[in-house]
Amino acid sequence: MPFKDMREFLAHLDSQGQLKQVDVELNCEIGEENEMQALMRLVCEQDGPALMLNNLKGYNTPQHPVMFNVFGTRERTAMTIDEIEPLTAKLKHANILGDASKWHEPKIIDAANAPCKEVVIEEADIDLSKQLPLVWFGKEQASYITGGVVVTKDPETGERNVGWYRLTQFTGAEHPTGGSYTEEEQKKQLSVFCFWNPPMSHIGLHLAKAKAMGKPLEIAIACQVDPVIHMAAATGVPFGADEYNFAGGLKGEPVELVKCNTVDLEVPAGAEFVIEGVFHPDAEQTIGRHSNPVGYYDAIQVFPMVDVKCITHRNDAQWYATMEMVPPFDHNYIALLPVEGEVLSDLQRKAPEVQDVVVTPNMTYVVQLNVDGARKPHAEFGKYILHAVWGSAGRWGRTAKIVIVVGPDVDPYDMDSIEWAIATRVMPATDIIINESGQAFVLDPSAPKGHHGFPVTGSQMGIDATIKVPERFAEYQEVSFPPQEKVDQVAVKLKGIL
């Protein structure tokens, strides 16, 4: 059954024993006593359950409990689109992404029926230091909004973009270069992780267009929504396509939206919080430290500012907080499944021999074929697939730093199996491609950075770990491995002994 909002999803997790209430005191303040990063590492190392944190020390809004590790396994991520098995969820995502006829346009409902409108805070009364939750992690020097689905419209065409972008809160934040943030910034403004110069995302394209046209750009941030919308917002749909429509396809029915109060945008009616605003015309701010998804702290980044015009939220609103660090972490998998689905959808349209695409928490792309050796459709087919990943549609394939192509007897989820294929089927001089002019992953610390603190270009490596028949051999040595059914039979015989 599709979920109406995040609360229904949490209730489902609870019914499956996948949500635990935590009343133990945990420290979420900025500084050395902070326990949130350690908590994230603990639960993610154990594939632990989702948590509801009810007793946070130093928390400014204790009336808003904090949901934590909601998407912390591949299985829970699959549940967001009403599946259980990761591959099944991925194939569903890829199928619907590749067929817009299965999408559903959203439904606009009356504000009186929208839970996100239960409390309204007008611009004159806004004080973000009191009205938005502040949760710190590790050595980060600011509290970040991490559960916000961000809505903007193309200033030329009016087409909508819905993305999942992080925002910086300035209340209590430490300036990374020793400066300070003004009272106005702390109470009335946010900064959006909007890679706009040069544009590296769709919101970045919208902002770049607006600045070139000398026009303001309105923005709405809907926090903690129906998880299928989070999934759609994390997917690189074609520029100009509406992620709400794609979310309706994943859901099997239209998502419910409501119009904002002060900007010409629409947000999910069941959101916990909604923040409405306008990009500040000519203001950028330096932020940091920020922990990123490849496991390093970004010391300094420069992002545009947003003037907050209105906040609405549910009466008993809940918050979501997470941190990116050395993987795995909470939202690893809900970030990775859309990447996998995006690339899988594109590859399968060109090469039905592609069976699966797995992106590891460390962003290594593994493409599994359903054929190998002499059954490949042509020689050097593995290298063809490598180039197809870098040339795939969407946002992510072109940024793949390491891509590995394997055959059907290699488990793409098991790095031991992948390493075995590389060790026994790859000659480095002939089976590895180095692309010196690739697009860098935006937070890769090994690539050169520009003014705004992020890289634009970098090099890439593709490894063809398929069997080199017919490329080098007429036949290949037989693999020494027992059939799985034999292993299962022996396991039954030894049940209770091993």
Distance CA 350, CA 447 (A): 31
pLDDT one-digit tens code per residue, 218-234: 999 999 999 999 999 99
Task: Name the nearest CA neighbour of 74 among 353, 280, 356.
Answer: 356
Q: Is the same domain home to 279 and 420?
A: no
Residue with tokens 């190392």: 45
Residue 326 inside a domain? The answer is no
CATH at residue 49: 2.30.110.10
CB proximity list for 246: less than 8 A, separation 6 or greater: 96, 97, 100, 103, 232, 235, 237
Q: Is the same domain home to 217 and 95?
A: yes
Q: Is the same domain home to 126 and 249?
A: yes
For 389, other C-beta atoms within 10 Å of its C-beta total 22
Distance CA 22, CA 90 (A): 31
Tell me phi and psi for residue 222, to 5 degrees: -105, 115
pTM for this model (two decimals):
0.90
For the chain, count helices (H), then strands (E).
Answer: 14, 25
Q: Which structural domain range is residue 400 located in?
A: 351-464
Residue 143 inside a domain? The answer is yes
Residues comprising the chain, all counted: 498
Distance CA 434, CA 431 (A): 10
pLDDT one-digit tens code per residue, 310-364: 999 999 999 999 999 999 899 989 999 999 999 999 999 999 999 999 999 999 9
Tell me the average pLDDT across 383-392.
Answer: 97
Amino acid letter at 73?
A: T
Q: How many domains does the chain have?
A: 2
Q: How confident is the model at residue 308 (pLDDT cuts 50, 70, 90)?
A: very high
Beta strands 256-259; 107-108: pairing state: parallel
Q: Is the same domain home to 309 and 355?
A: no
Q: Is the same domain home to 444 and 306?
A: no
Q: Is the same domain home to 394 and 441?
A: yes
Residue 485 inside a domain? The answer is no
Distance CA 291, CA 41 (A): 14
Distance CA 438, CA 454 (A): 15
pLDDT one-digit tens code per residue, 443-491: 888 998 876 677 888 999 999 999 999 999 999 999 999 999 999 999 9
pLDDT over 70, % of the chain: 99
pLDDT one-digit tens code per residue, 171-184: 999 999 999 999 99
Residue 61 has pLDDT above 70, yes or no: yes
pLDDT one-digit tens code per residue, 12-59: 999 999 999 999 999 999 999 999 999 999 999 999 999 999 999 999
Distance CA 16, CA 12 (A): 6
> Within its chain, how far is the Cα of 17 from the centroid?
24
Q: Is the same domain home to 395 and 278?
A: no
Amino acid letter at 488?
A: D
Residue 498 inside a domain? The answer is no
CB proximity list for 19: less than 8 A, separation 6 or greater: 10, 13, 49, 50, 51, 52
Residue 168 has pLDDT above 90, yes or no: yes
Q: Is the same domain home to 403 and 450?
A: yes
Q: Is the same domain home to 93 and 136?
A: yes
Q: Is the same domain home to 308 and 364?
A: no
CATH at residue 440: 3.40.1670.10
Residue 334 inside a domain? The answer is no
Q: Is the same domain home to 217 and 271?
A: yes
For 52, other C-beta atoms within 10 Å of its C-beta total 18
Task: Name the nearest CA neighbour of 459 among 479, 470, 444, 474.
Answer: 444
Residue 393 has pLDDT above 70, yes or no: yes
DSSP class of residue 478 equals P
Distance CA 49, CA 35 (A): 18
